Amino acid sequence: MSSFSVTEPSRRAKWFAGTLVILYALITMVPLAWIMLTGFKSPSDAISYPPKVFFEPTLEGYVNLFTTRTRQTPEFLAANPPENWYEEIVREYDMVIVGPSKFGERFLNSVIIGFGSTFLSIFLGTLSAYAFSRFKIPLADDLLFFILSTRMMPPIAVAIPIFLMYRQLGLSDTHLGMILLYTGVNISLAVWLLKGFIDEIPLEYEEAALIDGYTRFQAFYKVVLPQAATGIASTAIFCLIFAWNEYAFAVLLTSGTAQTAPPFIPTIIGVGGLDWPAVAAGATIFLLPVMIFTILLRKHLLRGITFGAVRK
């Protein structure tokens, strides 16, 4: 490093750039911070004017999110004192909890379908990516391009025949149907990304293993797989985030048993219109895992979002 570099920005330039970027970051965080705050407000605080930044936090939104409630007569309420803290919250509105809401189920569906399709995409994707990377496959380039171009179809366009197909096969509104569908959509991304990661592993490792008497298959899972572990992990997170966030297919092809959280969250209705704190609580619980994954993934983010077109 030379004592003077023309490419190193001056201190003033750094300070100026830093201030502007931090300012942007803070502004861009306002909507997210607001929705997280709203989750801890009471319904009246949530819709007050002017909007309240300081308020008495309550878990009402979360309680409402996870339960269904019903109004009761004063006599009933007096005869049955609240047994725990969440009953107490509900009592303020002369209500009692009658059971869990559907949010838990929907969230669980998101988890099952998300992880199921991610596992399948990664399993099949790693095998194919290895084959595409190491063997001569006729028409490989055309095939890869074609796989990619299917992503240009608007999801609604794909949903029309899938809807008809699933109706015939009895896969509508089933976990299996959604897992297969998301795998079908994700696998193109998985193969592209994984091929890029496997291409970067030097061939010599496997050749050494083959000469040492490993079979091709042993070389694959004892030599290549461990080398590709980071790539596989980050590809998996991308697949998971896609399946987690997907809305169009979910809203068209599921209605009950296999419905995921994104179509469900906007339909949370409270007394007299949308229950904003409950919606905000649901959004918070739903978005937090993705934020954590994004932070874990930051090194490979660019590669994932550009289908491996840009590598850092």
Partner 1 sequence: MSDSPASRAAAATPPSVARKIRGLSDRAIAWIFVAPTIFLLLAINIFPLIWTINLSFTNFKANSPNREVVNVGFRNYQRILTDSDIWLNMQATAHFLFWTIFFQVIIGFTLAYLINKKFKGNDLWTTIIVLPMMLSPAVVGNFWKFLYQPQIGLFNYIIAFFTGKDPSSFEMLGSVSLAPWSIVIVDTWMWTPFVMLICLAGLRSIPDYIYEAAEVDRASKLRQFFTITIPMVLPFLMLAVLFRGIENFKMFDLVVQLTGGGPGSTTELTSINLKREAFEKWRTGYASAYAIILFVTVFGLASIYVKALNKVKER
- Kindly identify the residues of this chain, within the stretch 51-70, that bind partner 1 according to CB under 8 A: 51
Contact range with partner 1 by CB under 8 A, out of 64-72, 83-91, 100-108, 274-282: 274-282
Residues from 233 through 252 that contact partner 1 (CB under 8 A): 241, 244-245, 247-248, 251-252
CB of 102 to partner 1, least distance (A): 16
Residue pair 144/192 in contact (Cβ under 8 Å)? The answer is: yes
- Select from 70, 69, 68, 66 the least CA-distant residue to 105: 66
Which residue in 188, 235, 254, 259 binds partner 1 (CB under 8 A)?
188
What does residue 118 show for φ and ψ, rounded to 5 degrees?
Answer: -65, -45
Residue pair 104/264 in contact (Cβ under 8 Å)? The answer is: no
Pure H helices in the chain: 11-38, 43-46, 60-66, 74-79, 85-91, 103-134, 140-149, 155-169, 175-199, 203-211, 216-219, 225-227, 229-245, 248-253, 261-264, 276-297, 301-305
Which residue in 114, 263, 300, 308 binds partner 1 (CB under 8 A)?
263
CB of 82 to partner 1, least distance (A): 30
CB of 92 to partner 1, least distance (A): 21
Whichever of 63 and 209 has its CB closer to partner 1, that residue is 209
Residues from 86 through 145 that contact partner 1 (CB under 8 A): 124-125, 127-128, 130-132, 134-137, 143
Whichever of 98 and 302 has its CB closer to partner 1, that residue is 302
The verdict on 276 binding partner 1 (CB under 8 A) reads yes
In Å, how far from its chain's centre is CA 49? 33
CB of 148 to partner 1, least distance (A): 10
The verdict on 155 binding partner 1 (CB under 8 A) reads yes
Residue pair 249/117 in contact (Cβ under 8 Å)? The answer is: no
Provide the β-strand partners of residue 280.
none
Contact range with partner 1 by CB under 8 A, out of 54-62, 74-82, 224-232, 297-305: 297-305
The verdict on 294 binding partner 1 (CB under 8 A) reads yes
Binding-site size, partner 1 (CB under 8 A): 107
Residue pair 194/238 in contact (Cβ under 8 Å)? The answer is: no
**Distance of alpha carbon 39 from alpha carbon 44, whole angstroms:** 12
* The CA-based dihedral angle spanning residues 113, 289, 99, 58, taken in that order and rounded to the nearest 10 degrees: -160
The verdict on 198 binding partner 1 (CB under 8 A) reads no
Provide the β-strand partners of residue 67.
100
Residues from 9 through 48 that contact partner 1 (CB under 8 A): 9, 13-15, 17-18, 20-22, 24-25, 28-32, 34-35, 38, 46-48
Contact pattern from residue 204 through residue 233 relative to partner 1, giving x for each residue in contact according to CB under 8 A and a dash for the rest: --xx--xx---xxxx-x-------------
CB of 146 to partner 1, least distance (A): 8
**Distance of alpha carbon 301 from alpha carbon 306, whole angstroms:** 9
